A and B are shown apart, each in its own frame.
Chain A
Amino acid sequence: MLAPGAPVRVRDDWPETRGPCHIRTPHYLRGRRGTVVRQLGAFPNPEDLAFARPAPTLALYHVAFEPRSIWPDAGGDEIVVELYESWLEAA
Chain B
Amino acid sequence: MTPLIEAPSERLLAGIKSLLASKGIATAEEIAERMAQTDRASPAQGARMVARAWTDPEYRALLLRDGAQAAEAMGIAMRGLPPLGVLENTDDTHNLVVCTLCSCYPRAVLGYPPFWFKSPGYRARAIRDPRGVLAEFGTVLPAGQRIRVVDSTADYRWMVLPQRPVGTDGWDADRLAALLREGDMIGVTVPSAA
Contacts and interface: CB of A to CB of B under 8 A. Distances in A.
Interface of A: 24-26, 28, 40-41, 43, 46, 60, 67, 71, 73-84
A71 B128 contact: yes
A19 B101 CA distance: 18
B100 interface: yes
Interface string B129-144: 1111000000000000
A48 to B, nearest CB: 14
Nearest to B102: A24
Contact of A76 (B101, B147, B153, B156): B147
Interface string B55-79: 0000000000000000000000000
Contacts of B151: 26, 79-82
B130 A75 contact: yes
A74 B129 CA distance: 6
A78 B148 contact: yes
B127 interface: yes
Nearest to B96: A76
B42 interface: no
- Across the A-B interface, give the 4 residue pairs with the lowest CB-CB distance, nearest first: A82-B154, A77-B146, A76-B147, A43-B155
A90 to B, nearest CB: 21
A80 B150 contact: yes
Contacts of A81: 150-151, 153
Nearest to A77: B146
